[in-house]
Chains A and B, each alone.
Chain A
Amino acid sequence: MSDINITVIDREGVSHKLAAPTDMNMNLMEVCKSYDLPVEGVCGGMAMCASCQVYVHTDKHFGERNDDEEAMLDEAYHVKSNSRLGCQIPISTELDGAEFELAPEES
């Protein structure tokens, strides 16, 4: 098995420990959805909405925001310096032990 473990804090402050496979080409948005966490992923993972915005609570290095993601976050709300779009974070071994928090819904 090539599962990793991550922690996702939902909008009520409840912490969820999630096991996620690294060999299924998944991203953080999809993992959250597969656990029925309230992540919409409206655009399906194209960095074209910000409904999967998360705050990264960990200093593990797993890549930077890409251009599409930056441009989308420029127009999103509740954006902080540690904001990322979950759909742009691939599940990889570097993420093992990382913690994320769901950003508030837009409205």
Chain B
Amino acid sequence: MIKTDIVIIGAGPVGLFAVFEAGLMKLHCHLIDAIPQAGGQLSEIYPKKPIYDIPGYPTVLAGELVDKLMEQAAPFKPGFTLGERAETIDELPNGNFVVTTSQGTKHEAPVVMIAGGLGSFEPRKPIIENLSDFEQNGVNYIVKDPDQYQGKEMVISGGGDSALDWAVYFAEKNGLVHLVHRSDRFRAHKDSVAKAYELEEQGKLKLYTFAEVKQLEGKQQLEKVIIETKDGTVPIETALWFPLFGLSPKLGPIADWGLEIEKNAIVVDTFDYQTNRSGVFAIGDVNTYPGKLKLILCGFHEATLAVQSAYKRINPDKKFTLKYTTVQGVQGFD
């Protein structure tokens, strides 16, 4: 059991800033996120896009803002459970909450802050009839632990960064990659596309453009992937297919946590961004209230106020006054 003061569900910009604000009040935080890196949408959807409405930054790349927030939070030594989706929030007899993830990791704290943005990122799945039969049996939407695929022939589908990056990675290592894409335009960075064409010339990667995986065959384990191309169908004998079409956010289990939901967002009280469950707060894009704006800067404000109430819940009789960081600087945790 991981124990902390505040369990933060969602390691996006608002969750990360909550760590900083909590740290100023000597509260420890632990973040949980379904994707394997911090930053939420900023890392997953638009790391290279400039943001223009962060006060004090005329322009900052989304990825850079995440790096800065990580740096700002670092003195307060946040814990991370990444690549695991928060599934349940249970209440203990002592009033604490236990947040359990998809992998069964348990986190106990007197306060939970949901900074879940648009929900958890789930893989976009292609439309193939018997797809679910082969999930866990050869079809993988995320590459976890790449070493286990060493020396194995595989098919990868997609035209974005993750498809191209992994195709290049495995082609260089294994030289047995079939990359399938619906057109000859790629969303991926042009360097990775150029690299893929280079590997094709070296015979390490076979590129199928204007092609799509249409059928899967196999008894239990995936055995064959059938690709439809402009020139007809191509069967490939392989036990591995990675459809890497990116991730899209789903509210997911948040809807089952006994919280008041309105238009896919959690209703909060603007006094302290607490939900209808006492001790459970919701900050950032995941919440709603009259006048709500889904802006990072509004999320920062919400995190700051929520943390004040969290302090009072955790330390009901302990006095505290707001301190300006200009006075004493930042005292991190040992």
Contacts and interface: CB of A to CB of B under 8 A. Distances in A.
Partners in one complex: yes
B45 A71 contact: no
Nearest to A48: B45
Contact of B187 (A42, A43, A75, A107): A75
15 contacts: A42-B118, A43-B41, A46-B45, A46-B49, A48-B45, A51-B248, A71-B183, A72-B187, A74-B183, A75-B159, A75-B160, A75-B182, A75-B187, A75-B246, A106-B248
Nearest to B244: A75
Interface residues of B, number: 22
B110 interface: no
Contacts of A75: 124, 158-160, 182, 187, 245-246
Contacts of A72: 187
Please give me the 5 A-B residue pairs with the lowest Cβ-Cβ distance, nearest first.
Answer: A71-B187, A74-B183, A74-B182, A71-B185, A75-B245
A33 to B, nearest CB: 11
Contacts, number: 46
Nearest to B247: A49
Interface string A68-85: 101110110100000000
Contacts of A77: 126-127
A74 B124 contact: no
A32 to B, nearest CB: 14
Contacts of B183: 70-71, 74
Of A49, A67, A74, chain B has the most CB atoms within 10 Å of the CB of A74
Given A68-B187, A71-B183, 20 more contacts: A42-B45, A42-B249, A46-B45, A46-B49, A48-B45, A49-B45, A49-B246, A71-B159, A71-B185, A71-B187, A72-B187, A74-B182, A74-B183, A74-B185, A74-B187, A75-B160, A75-B182, A77-B126, A106-B124, A107-B125
Interface residues of A, number: 16
Interface in B149-164: 158-160
B181 A74 contact: yes
A48 B121 CA distance: 14
Contacts of B118: 42
A70 B127 CA distance: 20
B46 interface: yes
B197 interface: no
A48 B124 CA distance: 13
